[in-house]
Amino acid sequence: VPCSHPLVLHQRLQKPQQAALSSRSTLKANCLSVGLVLHDETPADGNCFFEAVSSQLQRLNCVVKKSPQELRHEVVAFMRTNRVIQ
């Protein structure tokens, strides 16, 4: 699945009121519906969010390969120079 607009992705997600599925099953199904993969474990090294994002972006070929540390550095730099987003 190529990178899509967030509203398109939102439309593909299962609704949480489907009580028959566990939260993990729902998460897994939602990941699959937008072409992502749910990994069982992400290193708990302070970069876990960026590790997960970097992994999925690389798998989807959305960005040039970046380490979680590089991704974190770029996000922080962007946030510092763009404090208010319109």
**Residue 51 and residue 86 in one domain:** yes
User: What is the reported pLDDT for 77?
Assistant: 93
The residue that leads in pLDDT, 11 or 20, is: 11
- From the DSSP assignment, how many helices (H) and strands (E) are in the chain? 4, 0
The residue that leads in pLDDT, 16 or 62, is: 62
**Residue 51 and residue 33 in one domain:** no
**Residue 79 and residue 46 in one domain:** yes
**Residue 16 and residue 48 in one domain:** no
- Taking residue 79's Cβ as centre, other Cβ atoms within 10 Å add up to 10
Say how many domains are in the chain: 2
Q: What is the pLDDT of residues 16-60, one digit of tens each?
A: 555 555 788 888 888 888 888 887 777 778 888 888 888 888 877
What is the domain range of residue 46? 41-86
d(CA 16, CA 18): 5
**Residue 53 and residue 86 in one domain:** yes
The residue that leads in pLDDT, 58 or 3, is: 58
